[in-house]
């Protein structure tokens, strides 16, 4: 083939390719185009093969013309390929378009419920004293709630708390003391034990400061030498932690079937500093929790040697502490989920 002939054929090839590229509509037809004009079986490949028959003097220019043809065919392909890539990208951008002028979601930050503010505060306090946190179910056996807490079936102490029965042997627990029975069982007669158990309890009760559901934090310490003095000191520290270092703490004799002796703790009124006001019902004191030395009977019936072990227990009302601390007027506010109420405890 002469250079002259090749230039003619070459131009025809380009015309054909120019025409054909307009019919390319997708990647499949673009690939066909590539095969036909640039592939192994294309005219271009044949042209390269025919180089060896070209006369010496024309070889160089033939080569230049051939490369020129290949470059033109290649650029037809490249342009089309780039156009497809761009179209694909445009389609994706269109599909994933975000309207940044739309109003966003309003993520308001929640606030800790005052009930849990008290739970967390008291828990932190006791973790610092080396206690661990124990847990028990709200649907509890009569045995754990009463019998193992030294309250047999006919005991009058049941009257105040025997409230929500599921069946003869199952109730909604009336106090977190039921977790004492569980912790003692798990310890299998071996001390020491130092736990607190926060949780919800249920009783038939209904006024501004009492409700059918409320929270308690139980404490239980069993060892060979835990004393009454330890109990008084622990609770004094707790109450000053909760209500301020200046609080006076007073212990009054009381009765609980599971502790002996039993005491109730009062704090000097933080509203009037003990002078007497409506908050402390003009007594100067606010009743705050029940406690005592674990009744040896409780140790025995829960598999502990009461000659070897002794200890103390206490139960503090979570809602009551929160009501006093934050000046909340009705215990029902804790569970009626009024956002305006809860919002007041937001920490800005």
Chain contacts with ligand PHE (rule: CB under 6 A): 175, 177, 218, 256, 259, 290-292, 313-315
Nearest CA-CA partner of 314 in 235, 201, 239, 254 = 235
**Beta carbons within 10 angstroms of residue 235's beta carbon:** 21
Angle at 258 between CA 257 and CA 262, to 5 degrees: 80
Closest contact distance (angstroms) between CB of 336 and ligand PHE is 23
- Give the residue with the Cβ less far from ligand PHE, 187 or 313: 313
- Give the residue with the Cβ less far from ligand PHE, 323 or 342: 323
- Give the residue with the Cβ less far from ligand PHE, 24 or 221: 221
CA dihedral 82, 83, 87, 88 (to 10 degrees): -30
Query: And the tokens for 295?
Result: 């009744």
Nearest CA-CA partner of 215 in 84, 343, 123 = 123
- Give the residue with the Cβ less far from ligand PHE, 175 or 247: 175
Query: Please, what's the b/e burial string for 15-40 (b: 16 or more CB within 10 A of its CB; e: otherwise)?
Result: eebeeebeebeeeeebeebbebbbee
- Sign, CA dihedral 333-334-339-341, equals positive
- Give the residue with the Cβ less far from ligand PHE, 33 or 314: 314
Non-local (6+) Cβ contacts of 324 within 8 A are 243, 270, 279, 286, 288
Give me the helix-helix angle, 114-128 and 318-326, nearest 10°: 110
Closest contact distance (angstroms) between CB of 292 and ligand PHE is 5
Closest contact distance (angstroms) between CB of 207 and ligand PHE is 16
Non-local (6+) Cβ contacts of 292 within 8 A are 231, 254, 256, 258, 259, 260, 261, 262, 263, 312, 313, 314
Can you tell me the distance from the alpha carbon of 260 to that of 98, in angstroms, rounded to the nearest whole number? 70
Q: Say if CB 337 and CB 331 are below 8 A apart.
A: no
Angstrom distances, CA of residue 348 to CA of 278, 322, 333, 339: 31, 19, 22, 16
Closest contact distance (angstroms) between CB of 339 and ligand PHE is 31
- Give the residue with the Cβ less far from ligand PHE, 114 or 311: 311
Q: Say if CB 196 and CB 119 are below 8 A apart.
A: no
Closest contact distance (angstroms) between CB of 163 and ligand PHE is 12
- Give the residue with the Cβ less far from ligand PHE, 20 or 205: 205
Closest contact distance (angstroms) between CB of 219 and ligand PHE is 7
- Give the residue with the Cβ less far from ligand PHE, 215 or 315: 315
Can you tell me the distance from the alpha carbon of 254 to that of 33, in angstroms, rounded to the nearest whole number? 99
- Give the residue with the Cβ less far from ligand PHE, 59 or 300: 300
Half-sphere exposure of 341 (CA within 13 A, CB side): 17
């Amino acid at each position: 083939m002469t250079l002259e002939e090749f230039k003619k054929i070459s131009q025809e090839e380009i015309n054909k390719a120019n025409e054909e590229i307009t019919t390319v509509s997708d990647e499949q037809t673009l690939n066909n185009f590539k095969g036909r004009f640039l592939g192994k079986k294309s005219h271009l490949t044949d042209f390269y093969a025919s180089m060896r028959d070209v006369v010496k003097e024309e070889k160089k220019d033939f080569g230049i013309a051939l490369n020129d043809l290949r470059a033109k065919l290649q650029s037809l392909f490249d342009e089309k390929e780039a156009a497809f890539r761009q179209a694909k990208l445009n389609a994706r951008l269109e599909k994933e378009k975000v309207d940044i002028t739309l109003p966003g979601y309003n993520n308001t930050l929640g606030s800790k419920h005052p009930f849990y503010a008290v739970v967390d505060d008291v828990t932190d306090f006791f973790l610092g004293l080396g206690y661990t946190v124990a847990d028990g179910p709200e649907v509890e056996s009569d045995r754990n709630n009463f019998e193992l807490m030294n309250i047999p079936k006919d005991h009058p102490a049941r009257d105040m708390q025997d409230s929500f029965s599921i069946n003869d042997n199952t109730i909604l627990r009336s106090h977190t003391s039921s977790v004492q029975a569980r912790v003692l069982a798990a310890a299998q007669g071996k001390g020491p034990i130092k736990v607190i158990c926060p949780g919800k309890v249920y009783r038939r009760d209904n006024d501004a400061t009492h409700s059918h559901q409320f929270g308690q934090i139980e404490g239980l310490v069993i060892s060979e030498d835990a004393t009454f003095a330890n109990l008084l000191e622990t609770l004094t520290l707790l109450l000053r932690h909760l209500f301020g270092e200046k609080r006076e703490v007073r212990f009054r004799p009381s009765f609980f079937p599971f502790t002996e002796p039993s005491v109730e703790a009062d704090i000097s009124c933080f509203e009037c500093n003990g002078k007497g006001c409506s908050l402390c019902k003009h007594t100067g004191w606010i009743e705050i929790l029940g406690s005592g030395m674990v009744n040896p009977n409780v140790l025995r019936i829960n598999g502990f040697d009461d000659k070897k072990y002794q200890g103390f227990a206490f139960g503090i009302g979570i809602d009551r502490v929160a009501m006093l601390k934050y000046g909340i007027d009705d215990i029902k506010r804790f569970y009626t989920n009024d956002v305006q109420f809860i919002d007041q405890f937001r920490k800005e």
